[in-house]
Homo-oligomer: A and B are copies of this chain.
Amino acid sequence: MTHTVESLAHVPASEVRAIIRGGEWDSPTSGVSLGYAQANMIVLPRDWAYDFLLYATRNPKPCPILDVTEAGDPEAKLIAPGSDVRTDLPRYRIWENGNLVEEPTDIKSAWRDDLVAFMIGCSFSFESALLEAGIGIRHIEENVNVPMYLTKIPCLPAGRFSGNVVMSMRPIPHNQVVKATTCTARFPSVHGAPLHIGDPSVIGVKDINRPEFGDPVTIHPGETTVFWACGVTPQAAVMKSKPPFAITHAPGHMFIADKRDSDYAVF
């Protein structure tokens, strides 16, 4: 069976996880299971877990923690009982000493008893709210991965981790920028309000058409570039801080939780 973002848009999270687990979907998840929260992932040895949890605590905007697994246990119990983080994401990245060594579609053979998975809020979670507000999402319209940029904005360091903030970008018509800001501000656990609105050079983006992660999208006249904190930020920290071993999701290829976006709305 061939799936598309459209055919999966209204399929419940648990069913989409089963489809991914069965090897039937290895593409980005933006637009899939609308209304369900999505999550970034970083898996680290227990020995590095405190440093990372502290890094996330000090940088809650890019790294809002939704769930932390017990060492060796691949189930994200809090946000998706019955899930298996080794198989339920469409694509992974395996890192050794800060270098990307593999991009597999499951991590069963790489799993170890000392690994802890951190599940981190994802801005895909508030895209339903943007769509409901009548705000188009360009990377869904163009059927590509969201563009993500490694900015010059530093995170607060913690233990052995440091790095800059990664931000996702959505072009928004000027007359919808305020609405896009207020309607995403309701969801701080999935990155919330934008970090930057307007001139990309202010945050150190050199070429808007060459994102460090994901794909470029069309920016029409009369649109502003709006940047949200992104859960790929831990991957920038992995590249800079070089833990001996780490596994992450591949950018845009998220874990889809049973939690609803509305579970994370604060007002």
Query: Is A49 an interface position by the 8 A CB rule?
Result: yes
Query: Which of B49, B65, B156, B267 meets A185, CB within 8 Å?
Result: B267
**Quick check: B78 and A156 within 8 Å, CB to CB?**
yes
Q: What is the minimal beta-carbon distance from A63 to any residue of chain B, in angstroms?
A: 11
* Measured CA separation A185–B188 after assembly (Å): 13
| Chain A window 17-56, contacts with chain B (Cβ cutoff 8 Å), 1 for yes, 0 for no | 0000000000000000000000000000000011001101
* Chain B residues near A56 (CB-CB < 8 A): 57
A-B interface, 8 closest residue pairs, ranked by CB to CB distance from nearest? A50-B50, A53-B53, A57-B65, A54-B68, A49-B50, A267-B267, A188-B266, A57-B68
Say what secondary structure dominates the interface of chain A. Answer: helix
* Measured CA separation A266–B185 after assembly (Å): 8
Query: Is A58 an interface position by the 8 A CB rule?
Result: yes
Q: List 19 A-B contacts (CB under 8 A).
A: A49-B50, A50-B50, A50-B53, A53-B53, A53-B54, A53-B57, A54-B68, A56-B57, A57-B57, A57-B65, A58-B68, A58-B78, A78-B156, A185-B266, A185-B267, A188-B188, A188-B266, A266-B266, A267-B267
Q: Considering only CB atoms, which chain B residue lies closest to A53 in the complex?
A: B53
Q: What is the minimal beta-carbon distance from A188 to any residue of chain B, in angstroms?
A: 6
* Measured CA separation A60–B185 after assembly (Å): 18
A-B contacts besides A54-B68, A266-B266, 8 pairs, CB < 8 Å: A49-B50, A50-B53, A53-B53, A53-B57, A56-B57, A57-B57, A57-B65, A58-B78
| Chain A window 116-159, contacts with chain B (Cβ cutoff 8 Å), 1 for yes, 0 for no | 00000000000000000000000000000000000000001000
* Chain B residues near A266 (CB-CB < 8 A): 185, 188, 266
* Measured CA separation A56–B65 after assembly (Å): 11
| Chain A window 66-83, contacts with chain B (Cβ cutoff 8 Å), 1 for yes, 0 for no | 001000000000100000
